């Protein structure tokens, strides 16, 4: 008899108490929305932090590109100055016509000047990187500017090679053929 009362009593307790426990275990829709909004906010915050890190790395890499371009620019200017001084020596010492050399050097300097303006524009794009919402677009315009600088450098080097070739040819033409006697 005890067994017959015990089983219905346990079943009654379980059926009555289970909905109460179930209601306490499941959160209300307001709590669920709050949790979802918290997770979305955390994800958004992590996303913005990652984007800021990417932009910082991008700025670091792009500033390194600018410094390398400036180094190349300085070297090209030094080459122009050396070739110009050699041409001046050749002109004064041997009376050689250096107009071809000067025209090639002038063209090289023009391309170097254009490269300088492109580098300045790239620096301004680098400063725009912080203020923009779309860093990819700014980086793309930066890349096209760098490509333009590279093409100007290539043209300047081509003109420098032409000036060197003209300098060598002029030096070969003006070599003295006979021996000169030292004057006393």
Averaged pLDDT of the chain: 81
Question: What is the rounded distance in angstroms from the CA atom of residue 138 to the CA atom of residue 126?
Answer: 8
Nearest by Cα to 148 from 115, 173, 121, 175: 115
Residues 71-84 have a mean pLDDT of 86
Does residue 99 have a pLDDT over 60? yes
Residue entry with tokens 């000067």: 102
- Residue spans of the domains in the chain: they are 52-173
Question: What is the rounded distance in angstroms from the CA atom of residue 23 to the CA atom of residue 105?
Answer: 87
pLDDT digits (tens, 9 = 90+) for 132-173: 778 778 878 888 888 998 999 999 899 989 988 888 888 887
Instruction: Please state the pTM of the whole predicted model.
Output: 0.63
Does residue 102 have a pLDDT over 80? yes
pLDDT digits (tens, 9 = 90+) for 52-67: 888 888 888 888 888 8
Helix (H) or strand (E) holding 2: helix 2-25
Does residue 131 have a pLDDT over 70? yes
Does residue 11 have a pLDDT over 80? no
Cα angle for residues 24, 18, 4 (degrees, 5° grid): 160
Return all residues near 83 (Cβ < 8 A) that are at least 6 apart: 101, 105, 160, 163, 164, 167
Helix (H) or strand (E) holding 29: helix 29-94
Nearest by Cα to 149 from 76, 81, 79: 76
Residue entry with tokens 């991008």: 58
pLDDT for res 179: 52
Q: Say which residue, 131 or 41, is predicted with more confidence.
A: 41
pLDDT digits (tens, 9 = 90+) for 112-128: 899 889 888 888 887 77
Q: How many residues does the chain have?
A: 184
């Amino acid at each position: 008899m005890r067994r017959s009362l015990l089983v219905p009593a346990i079943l009654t307790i379980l059926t009555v108490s289970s909905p109460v426990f179930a209601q306490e275990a499941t959160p209300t829709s307001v709590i669920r929305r709050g949790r979802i909004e918290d997770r979305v906010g955390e994800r958004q915050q992590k996303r913005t932090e990652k984007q800021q890190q990417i932009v910082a790395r991008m700025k670091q890499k792009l500033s390194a590109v600018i410094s390398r371009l400036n180094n190349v620019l300085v070297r090209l200017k030094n080459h122009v100055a050396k070739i110009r001084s050699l041409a001046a020596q050749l002109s004064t010492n041997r009376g050689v016509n250096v107009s071809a050399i000067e025209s090639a050097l002038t063209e090289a300097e023009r391309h170097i000047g254009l490269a300088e303006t492109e580098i300045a524009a790239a620096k301004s794009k680098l400063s725009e990187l912080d203020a923009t919402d779309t860093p990819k677009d700014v980086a793309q315009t930066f890349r096209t500017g760098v490509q333009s600088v590279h093409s100007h450098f290539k043209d300047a080097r081509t003109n420098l090679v032409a000036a060197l070739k003209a300098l060598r040819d002029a030096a070969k033409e003006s070599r003295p053929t006979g021996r000169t006697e030292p004057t006393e």
